Amino acid sequence: MEVNPPLTIVGCGPGDPDYLTPAADKAVAEAEVLVGTQRLLDLFPRHPGEKIPVGVNIDDVLEAVADRVQRTIAILVTGDPGLASLARPVIRRFGRERCRIIPGISSLQVAFSRLGLDWLDARIIDAHGKDPDLGNDALNRPSKIAVLGGRPQSFEWLQRELGDRLDDFQVTICEDLTLAGERITPWQPGTVLDRELSSRVIFILVRK
């Protein structure tokens, strides 16, 4: 019986090539096919294999992978595969034993590094694709909260969700980390931002 090669899910870091690990580079070099967003594919301009650009539709990504399982495929994801990435649907569809995961440097690690903070006690919330459904007091206790934004509406959601409790936190908006337009902006609850946030945004809240 013919055995298909493993599917390799490669964490590619938050954007700047300096944050790609040698292990990620090696896994990509070994692959015949790269699957990922155009921005991630662009991190490997000299890769000679087939490059399949994908959009936000996860089913399309899974089909593109399913059509090529006999080849050596690297599925490129932003940051670390363990954090709100394609790894979960890929593993659900193809099975954990078929998948090899190469960790990457997460945008979350970079955000906390920029603020000089550890994140052992952080509550991580994924508001990237849609407003998360949290329990009433889910945000009453954590001393740090990290919100993966990703949409303009996520900032509005955060303000609605926390309401007056926002005053208990120092809020920092971290955009386009490691990229040319990186911005780290302290934000005062109640003030209006006079610009649109980047789609690559993390909100870090630290209890005062």
Give the span between the Cα atoms of 169 and 145, in whole angstroms. Answer: 9
The minimum distance between CB 54 and ligand SAM, in angstroms, equals 13
201-207/169-175 β-pairing: antiparallel
CA nearest neighbour of 11 among 26, 24, 30: 24
Give residues in contact with ligand SAM (CB under 6 A).
14-15, 77-80, 83-85, 106-108, 128, 148-150, 174-179, 200-202
The minimum distance between CB 48 and ligand SAM, in angstroms, equals 27
The minimum distance between CB 136 and ligand SAM, in angstroms, equals 24
Strand partners, 205: 145, 171
Nearer to ligand SAM, 2 or 196 (CB): 196
How far is C-alpha 77 from the chain's CA centre? 7
Give the span between the Cα atoms of 122 and 21, in whole angstroms. Answer: 25
The minimum distance between CB 203 and ligand SAM, in angstroms, equals 8
